Structure 1
Amino acid sequence: MLTCEICGEEMLPEADMRTHLLLGHLEGELSCPMCPLAGVTYDDLQFHIDTAHSENEPSRPGKRCVEEESETQARASGGRSSAGASRSAGRRCPGGDAGEPTVKRGPLQSPFHTPENAHLQPLQEAEAGKLTLTSHKAMKGNLMPRKSDSTDETLVASPRKGRFRCNLCEIFALYTVEDMDFADVPGECRGWTSEMFLHVAEFSCPMCALVCSDCFVLQEHVELHLDATQSDLQLARQLQEEEDLRSRRQEAKREAEDFKKLQGQYGLDGRGGYRRQLETCMERAVSRGHMAPLEFHRKKAEVMECLASGVDDGKSRTSGLMAALYEYYLKNGQDIANVWLSAETDHYSSSEGDRGWGCGYRNFQMLLSSLQKMELYRDYGTVPSIPRVQALIEEAWREGADPQGASHFKHRLQGTRAWIGATEIYSLLTSLRVRARIVDFDQPTGPGSTHPKLFEWVKTYFSASSSRGARLPPRVAKSSQPPIYLQHQGHSRTIVGMEQKKNGTLCLLVFDPGCPLEDMRRLLTPGLGASSVRLFRKFPSQLKHKQYQVVSAEGVLSPEEKQLQIETSKTLRAERIP
C-alpha cells in the first residue's frame, strides 16, 4: 500500500501514485493537508510542512485538518457565529498553539512580531482565507508590499494567532486581519479589511544601533547621518583653514621680527649710521654727567668737520706697533724658529660711532694705512673716515662692481650701520685700482674643525717676499707684503704676520679692531713682554669657524684691467681652498 506524503491518500499501484502526484500536486494546485496553504510549488510546500508542522506531523494529516478546513470554509461563507463557536471549542490545526505566550516587543517592532518564531506563522484572512506574499527575489529589488495578481504566489491563511512571518526572508513580514468580529483579531486591528495590510520590515542603520521599520524612514535617517558627516567635514575643514591661517600669520610675524632683529644686527634698521650713533653716545654721556655740555658741542663740531672732509681724525689709530713687534722678536722668543711680519701697518680701534658694526671698515683702514706707506701705492692719499668708506663702496657699485652685493644692501650704505665683508673690500680695492685677490677656505681641513691650509697659505704669502735673494732667511723677517684682510662669520681681523715655533706649530699675528685703544697704545711702552704679544697671537685651535675668507692686495691695476675686473665681479667667484 502506497501513501501520498502530501495529501495522505492511499493507493496500491505505483503507476497510480505517480499519476496522482503529477495531476494532483505537480500540475495541479498544491495545498497543505494540515492548513489552508495552497497555490505554492512542491518544494515550497515541502519546506512549509517540514518547518510549520514538523513537531506534530500526523500519519493521516488530511483527516486531522477536516474540521479546520470546514471551519475555514465557514468563515469564507460568512458564518461568523459558527466560526466563533468553533474557535471557542479550541479546535486548531496542529501547526498552531492555543497557549502561545505573549511576547514583549520593542519600540520599533510591530505589535504582531514574535521574533522567537523562526517558522512560517499563520495569518487571518477575511476573504477566502488568502493573502498575497511577495516573492523573496522580488522583495530584494523592492521592499514595498504589493497587491495580489495572477502571477503572485499565494499563501492560504491558517487560524493560528492571526499572523505570519516569512519563512524565506528574515528581513520582513506581512500581516493582515480577517474581520473585526473574529475573536483572535487584536483590538488595534479590528475593522480592517482584506485590502488593509501592513509590511513591517526591520532595517538596521549601518551607522548606529537604530532599527527602522520602513526603508524610507531608514533612508531619511541615514541621510541625516550623511548630512551631519558633511557638516562635520566642512567644520573640520573650516577649523583647519583657520588654524593654517593663524599659523601663517604667526610665522609671518615671527619672520618679520627675526628680520628686524637681523637688520638691527647688521645695521640696516634705519637707526642711523656713524654720525647718529656718535651723537647718541655723547648725549648719553652728558645726561649721565660724564661730559659737560660745552665739551659736547665742541666734540660735535669736530665730528661734523671730520665728516665733511672725509678723512679719518686718527683718534682711534695706533702707529708703531709693527716696529715694537720686530724689536720684541729680536730680543725674545727662544722657542720661535721664524717670524714673518708684514709691511708697516697702523692699528685702528673701534670708536663710539662704529662700535658693534664697524670692524670691516676699520680693517680696511688698516690695510690702506699699509698701502700708503709703500711707494707703489703712494697716490692713494689719506685714510678715509667710515662714512667716506661707505660712499666709496657705493661708487664702486655704481661702476658695476659686485651687483649681487649691491642688491643685498639695496645700493645704500651711507647713513646705516651695515656690516661689510670680504666682497665689499674686494669691490672697493678694485674701484681704487688695487689688484685684489679673494680666497675662500670654505671648510675645515684639519682635526677639530681647524684650518691648517689657511695657515700654510698665509705663511707662503709672507715668506715668499722675505726670502727673495737670501741664501739663509733671517729668523725675524720684515716682509714687503701688505697685511691680509681676514673675514669670518660675525667679525673680521687683519693678519700682520706669521710665527712658527721650533716644533713646527704655526701662529697668526693679527690686529683686532675690537681691542681697546688704551690697550694697544700701552704696547708701545719700552719692554714689550710676552703677555702683551699674546693679544696678537691666534693658533689653529682658536680659529674654528666653518668658513674663512681672505683678501690680499697684489699690485696696481691699469684702467683697462680695472674695467675687466669690474666685469668679472658681476659674477664674483672666489678662489677656493681646498
Structure 2
Amino acid sequence: MCDLVCASPQILQEHVDLHLEECSFSEGINVGDLELARQLQDEEDRQQRLEEVKKEKEEFKKLQRQYGLDDSGGYKQQFLKNMEREVNRGRMQPFEYHKRKTDMMESLAFGVDDGKTKASDHTLIPSIPKIQSMIEDAWKEGFDPRGASHFNNRLRGTKAWIGACEIYSLLTSLRLKSHLKCLYRCQVIDFHKPTGPMGTHPRLFEWVLSYYSRGREDGAKVVCTSKPPLYLQHQGHSRTVVGIEEKKNRTLCLLIFDPGCPSQEMQKLLRHNSDVTFPKQLRKFVGSLKDKQYQIVAVDGVLLPEEKAARREASQVFTAEKIP
C-alpha cells in the first residue's frame, strides 16, 4: 500500500502508472526465471534419459558376452583360435594343426562327438554343434517360444549357454532310437533359493535321494538303478548327477560327472587299479554347492505322441516345479 498523497488527479495517475510498470517488470522477470528453470530441468531429464539408455545398452552387451550371444563365434571358431594360439606359441606343429582341423570338420559334418568335448571313446554322443542344432529343431516344432526368442532362434555358431529349459525342450521333442519309438517325459525342478545355512541347498540333496530311492529294497546298502542321470544346472555351468551316497551319520553326497574336470582325470576312473582317492573327483557334499540357484532336469518316463503335443502347448509359458 502506497502512502503518497497527490495534489491532483494527473499526478496520481502518473504515480499509479509507475507502480504498474514496476509490477509488470517484476512479473516479467519471474516468468523468465520460471521458463529458464523449466528449460534447465528438461535438459537435465534428457541427459539422464540418455545416460540410462547408454547404461542399458552397455549392460545388454555385457549380458550378451556373458551368455555367449555377442556373435564372437561358436565351438568351431573357439577350437580354431585355441589351436592357432598353440601354433603361435610353438606348442603345436602346423601339420598337426591342419590334421586336427580336418578331423574337426569331419566330426561336424557327421554331427558326432570327436572326443574334444569330454566324451572320448563315445563317438555316438552328439557334438556340441549337433546338440545346438537339435535344440533349434525343437524350437521349430514350437517348444518354448519365449526361450527361442531370447536366443533369436539361433544357437549354432554361438557360445550361448544351454540351460535347463533348452534341455527340457530337446528331450521332450526327441524320439529315442530303440525297439519302441517313444519320447522322453521329463520335468524341471527349480531350487530357486538356498534352503540351508551359509547358502547351501540340502533340499536339493534330499530330492535327489528320493529320486534314486524309489523302489529300492529296504536295508540294501548298494542300490543299482535304471533311472537316468540328472541334469544339474547353475549359473554358467551344467553337470550330470549319476548317483548319491548316504553316510551312516545321514550325511548326503552327490556323485557327479563334471565336464569341467580334465579328461585325463576322468579317464583315471576307468582304471581298475585306481587308488582310493579317486572318488573325490565325483563326490560333492552339501557344502560344495553354494550357488544361489540350481535347476534339475529329470527324465521320469516316456511320452505318447499326444502327450508330446500337450507338453509342447504347455511350454508356451514355461514353468518349473519350485522347491521350496
Same fold, TM-score > 0.5, yes or no: yes
More helix by share: 2
Kept after mapping to 1: 8 A contact 2:256/2:282: yes
Cα distance in 1 for partners of 2:306, 2:286 equals: 40
- Structure-1 separation of matches of 2:138 and 2:232: 21
Match of 1:558 among 304, 312, 324: 304
Aligned-pair distance for 1:196? Answer: 10
Letter in 2 for 1:555: G
- Corresponding residue of 2:94: 293
Determine the C-alpha separation between the residues in 2 that align with 1:434 and 1:288.
46
Matched, 1:537 2:283: yes
Partner residue in 1 for 2:57: 256
Matched with 1:472 is 219
The aligned residue for residue 230 of structure 1 is 31
Does residue 382 (structure 1) correspond to residue 129 (structure 2)? The answer is no
State the distance in 2 between where 1:241 and 1:456 align.
Answer: 58
| Distance across 2 between alignment mates of 1:511 and 1:566 | 30
Query: Helix, strand or coil: the match of 2:198?
Result: coil
Q: In structure 2, how many angstroms separate the alpha carbons of the residues matched to 1:226 and 1:289?
A: 82
* Larger gyration radius, structure 1 or structure 2: 1
Which amino acid is the alignment partner of residue 410 of structure 1?
A: N
Structure 1 pair 217–478 and aligned structure 2 pair: CA distance change class (3 A):
same
C-alpha contact 1:318 1:520 (8 A) present in aligned 2: no
SS at match of 1:435: strand
Return the letter of the residue paired with 1:272.
G
The CA deviation string for residues 6-60 of structure 1, in whole angstroms up to 9 with x for no partner, is: xxxxxxxxxxxxxxxxxxxxxxxxxxxxxxxxxxxxxxxxxxxxxxxxxxxxxxx
Q: Are 1:448 and 2:249 counterparts?
A: no
| Residue 559 (structure 1) shift | 2.5
Q: How does 1:120-519 map to 2 (within 5 A)?
A: 171-175=3-7, 198-199=11-12, 214-317=15-118, 382-432=124-174, 433-465=183-215, 467=216, 470=217, 472-473=219-220, 475-519=221-265
The C-alpha deviation readout for 1:484-522, integer Å capped at 9, x for no partner, is 001122322111111112111111111111112222224
Q: Deviations 1:106-162 (Å, cap 9, x if unpaired)?
A: xxxxxxxxxxxxxxxxxxxxxxxxxxxxxxxxxx9xxxxxxxxxxxxxxxxxxxxxx
Contact 2:144-2:317 within 8 A present in 1 as well: yes
Q: TM-score, normalised by structure 1?
A: 0.51
> Is 1:528 the counterpart of 2:274 in the alignment?
yes
The residue type paired with residue 497 of structure 1 is: G
What's the CA shift for 1:260?
0.8
Question: Separation in 2 of the partners of 1:512 and 1:558?
Answer: 32
Q: 1:266–1:417: 8 Å Cα contact kept in structure 2?
A: yes
Kindly state the Cα deviation for residue 216 of structure 1 after the two structures are TM-superposed. 1.9
Output one character per residue of 1:72-107: Cα deviation in whole Å (capped at 9) or x when no partner. Answer: xxxxxxxxxxxxxxxxxxxxxxxxxxxxxxxxxxxx
SS of the aligned residue for 2:296 comes to strand
After TM superposition, give the deviation of residue 219 of structure 1 in Å: 2.0
- Cα deviation for residue 250 of structure 1 reads 1.5
Give the letter for the 1:382 counterpart: L
Q: How many angstroms apart in 2 are the aligned matches of 1:418 and 1:214?
A: 82
Q: Give the counterpart letter for 1:472 in structure 2.
A: G
User: CA contact under 8 A between 1:282 and 1:296: conserved in structure 2?
Assistant: yes
Paired AA for residue 86 in structure 2: A
Deviations 1:348-402 (A, max 9, x none): xxxxxxxxxxxxxxxxxxxxx7xxxxxxxxxxx9211111111111111111111
**Secondary structure, in 3 states, of the residue corresponding to 1:477?**
coil
Q: Percent of counterpart pairs with the same letter?
A: 52
User: Are the aligned partners of 2:119 and 2:125 in contact in 1 as well (CA < 8 Å)?
Assistant: no
- 1:498 to 1:174, Cα distance in 2 relative to 1, 3 A: same
Q: Per the alignment, do residues 417 and 316 of structure 1 end up closer, same or farther by CA in structure 2, a change over 3 Å counting?
A: closer
The letter of the residue matching 1:297 is H
State the alpha-carbon separation in 1 of the partners of residues 286 and 56 from structure 2.
37
RMSD: 2.5
- Give 1:413 shift: 1.0
Secondary structure at 1:226's aligned position in 2? helix
SS of aligned partner of 1:498: strand
- Whether the aligned pair in 1 keeps the contact of 2:118 and 2:259 (CA below 8 Å) is no
User: Aligned AA for 1:431?
Assistant: S
| Greater mean alpha carbon deviation, residues 534-543 or residues 251-260 | 534-543
Q: What amino acid is aligned across from residue 174 of structure 1 in structure 2?
A: C
For 1:548 and 1:291, the matched residues in 2 are separated by 39
Find the residue that maps to 1:171 and give its secondary structure. coil
Q: Normalization by structure 2: what TM-score?
A: 0.88
Give 1:277's aligned amino acid.
Q
**In structure 2, what residue type is equivalent to 1:232?**
D
Once the two structures are superposed, what CA deviation does each residue of 1:470-497 show, in whole Å capped at 9, x if it has no partner? 4531x23322222100112232211111
- Cα distance in 1, alignment partners of residues 173 and 10 from structure 2: 106
Q: Shift in Å at residue 282 of structure 1?
A: 1.7
Structure 1 contact 318–521 (Cα < 8 Å) conserved: no
How many residue pairs were aligned? Answer: 316
What CA distance in whole angstroms lies between the structure 2 residues aligned with 1:536 and 1:316?
18
User: Within 1, Cα distance between the matches of 2:9 and 2:54?
Assistant: 74
1:422–1:487: 8 Å Cα contact kept in structure 2? yes
Deviation at 1:572, TM superposition (A): 2.6
Q: 1:236 to 1:512 in 2, by over 3 A?
A: same
Give the superposition deviation at 1:460: 1.4
The runs of 5 or more residues in structure 1 that have no matched partner are 1-139, 141-169, 176-194, 201-212, 320-345, 347-368, 370-380
Aligned residue identity for 1:171: D
SS at match of 1:499: strand
